[in-house]
Amino acid sequence: MEQKGFSLIELMVTIVIMGVLAAVAVPKLFGFIDKSKASEISVAAGTYMKLQETYAFEHGKGGTWHEIGYRSPAGNSLGIASSTNFTYIAIENDYNWSAESNVSLNNCPKGSKWYLNYSLSEGAHNIKFWTSSDNIVGCIDELTPSFKRLSNTTTPITTPTKSGGKE
């Protein structure tokens, strides 16, 4: 008599293999999800930079979010606005552009901040941008390396300035 089907050992081996694959794949998947959420930062900051450069060339000075026509991904050009993943801050006594995470992203805890500031030295045609974070290693280097590459100066700035960066 011929029996059809799988033996108990074959089923157990299959379940163990699937468990090992799941143990490896699931953390990787969540890491990719967090990186995709964090990618919002680079796009939002890049848009701000382009608008600020254009405004500086036209007016000879930097402008506020409202003056340059910038709207955060949350859809606001004044004050503080929140999207699902970040709160964008347009307050003059802080960096010119900043975002704070509303959720934990990989090794970057909830409440981590990203900053973008600029300096107009030698006239409006020489605008320098620099990026920073309150967690350089866990947030910028690991999670948002494209945000770090937005800097076009090597001036290390790690804390907000009172002047708002408008020199």
The more confident residue out of 2 and 67 is 67
Residue-level pLDDT at 34: 83
Are 45 and 114 within 8 A, CB to CB?
yes
- Decide if 157 is inside a domain: no
Residue-level pLDDT at 18: 93
- Decide if 2 is inside a domain: no
Q: Could you tell me the pLDDT band of residue 119, with boundaries at 50, 70 and 90? A: confident
CATH of residue 83: 3.30.700
Are 48 and 55 within 8 A, CB to CB?
no
- Decide if 4 is inside a domain: no
- Decide if 31 is inside a domain: yes
- Decide if 116 is inside a domain: yes
| Residue 107 belongs to domain spanning | 9-148
- Decide if 120 is inside a domain: yes
Question: Among 11-25, 76-90, 103-117, which range has the highest average pLDDT?
Answer: 11-25
- Give the count of domains, the chain: 1
- Decide if 47 is inside a domain: yes
Contact partners, residue 107, CB within 8 Å, separation at least 6: 138, 139, 142, 143
Does the global pTM surpass 0.85? Answer: no
Classify strands 86-90 and 97-101 as parallel, antiparallel or unpaired: antiparallel
- Decide if 156 is inside a domain: no
Q: Could you tell me the pLDDT band of residue 164, with boundaries at 50, 70 and 90? A: very low
Q: State the average pLDDT for the chain.
A: 80
56-93 tens-digit pLDDT: 888 888 888 888 888 888 777 676 788 888 998 876 55
